[in-house]
Amino acid sequence: MFCFPLEVVFIVYFLPAKKIIVHLMRTRMLSLFLLFVICCAGGGSARTNEAQDYSRKFAALMRSTKAADASAWDRSYLDKSIRDRIRPATPEILEYIEGVNRLDGFAVSTSPMEINAETKRKIAGELEKLPPKVLELIKKRVIGIFTVQNLGGSALTGCAYGKNGSEFGFIILDMNMLNKPANEWITLKENTVFAPETGWKLDIKIENDETNTKESAVVYIFLHELGHIVHDVYKVLPPLAQESKDFSDFEFSGDVWLNELQPRREISFVYQEILAFYGRNPPFSVQIAPEIYRSLEKTPWATLYGATNANDDFAEFFVSYVHGELQNKPYRITVKRNEAIAYTGINGLKRNNAGERYRIIAGIFDRL
């Protein structure tokens, strides 16, 4: 749900410019996001201008927010256990959240949330089961995991900058939003793309039955957010706080994205221009889900959500690599019509067309 999110998505509505969330990847379950809005006033150049305007404003926020200043942090937290890094949001984190929400036009009042010792133990316990190389990455690059309520989404990520760019990041979790087991959570998320139809059902399985818990859902969301920190710290994509971004200059994105929001036409898939997550009115009937997923199989994207924008493309690739390759966990999409299977598919990272992007993700762990 980057600095985040967790997440830029689109709806086919003409929202005012201030509502267009371009450089924040949020997991906002109740909010509207834009992606590839076609036929809107001004066309592609207008959307590019909107993105650049937001990017400038976000960069200004980073210059004025204490949480984005690496020198303002107590670096001793990088030596603490994962459990000790989980704590209620500090005033600096709340200031950051308020600034981001103000840019996005969201009128919410976020407050710190103290979770009980048992919940903290369970979440830390699940995170500590991650592979050693991922734990090393967390140790070096995640200075805090902050718990809140009324965030406006389930997760938000920020990065802290020094003279040479992003040094580490922090992840914010709305604990009131993270209340479903992993398979139910991701199935609900995917179904925000598809309007229900009688006799049709779409399910995604990312955990086996014995590990399908709320805590495993938190870990999956955490890994997506960690992906945003990784691509900022290791400069896999343009810095999140940079005023002007050129994705064509980066190996991971250059062959896939024309800019942050527009994929190269030769690899885009059917209906991608109106792909939308989290809108009030899903853009597609679930009846065409098999056609969309079959089209997605021919592309380099790991998941349908990863096809929404360049930043979430990387974050979804990252979580897919850790979840599927390092942990050997499932990712199975099933669409049924009257209990008969109409489509079944796997995470795109498992397909041959992941190519060099797979190598880039794997190589990040060699840079630790």
202, part of any domain: yes
CB atoms within 10 A of CB 26: 30
Is the Cβ–Cβ distance between 241 and 161 less than 8 Å?
yes
Query: Under a CB-based contact definition with an 8 Å cutoff, are residues 261 and 35 in contact?
Result: yes
Q: Is residue 304 part of a domain?
A: yes
Indicate whether 10 belongs to any domain: no
Q: Give the chain's domain count.
A: 1
Is residue 293 within 8 A of residue 287, CB to CB? The reply is no
In a domain, 7, yes or no: no
Containing 334, the helix (H) or strand (E) segment is strand 332-337
- How confident is the model at residue 124, as a pLDDT? 97
Domain that holds residue 315: 17-367
Instruction: Report CA-CA distances (Å) from 336 to 27, 197, 288, 339, 343.
Output: 27, 11, 12, 5, 7
Tens digit of each residue's pLDDT, the chain (368 residues): 444 333 333 333 333 333 323 233 343 333 333 333 333 334 456 556 666 777 788 888 888 899 999 999 999 999 999 999 999 999 999 999 999 888 877 778 899 999 999 999 999 999 999 999 999 999 999 999 999 998 877 899 999 999 999 999 999 999 988 889 999 999 999 999 999 999 999 999 999 999 999 999 999 999 999 999 999 999 999 988 888 888 888 999 999 998 888 888 888 888 888 888 887 789 999 999 999 999 999 999 999 999 998 999 999 999 999 999 999 999 999 999 999 999 999 999 988 767 788 889 988 888 76
Q: Note the pLDDT of residue 43.
A: 46
Determine contact, residues 11/279, Cβ cutoff 8 Å: yes
- Asked if residue 53 is part of any domain, the answer here is yes
- Establish if 72 belongs to a structural domain: yes
Question: How many Å separate Cα 348 from the centre of its chain?
Answer: 16
Tell whether 11 is covered by a domain.
Answer: no
Would you say residue 3 lies in a domain? no
Q: Report residue 7 as tokens.
A: 């997440």
Check residue 279 and give its pLDDT: 78
Residues 6+ apart with CB under 8 A from 348: 296, 297, 299, 300, 301, 302, 303, 306, 320, 354
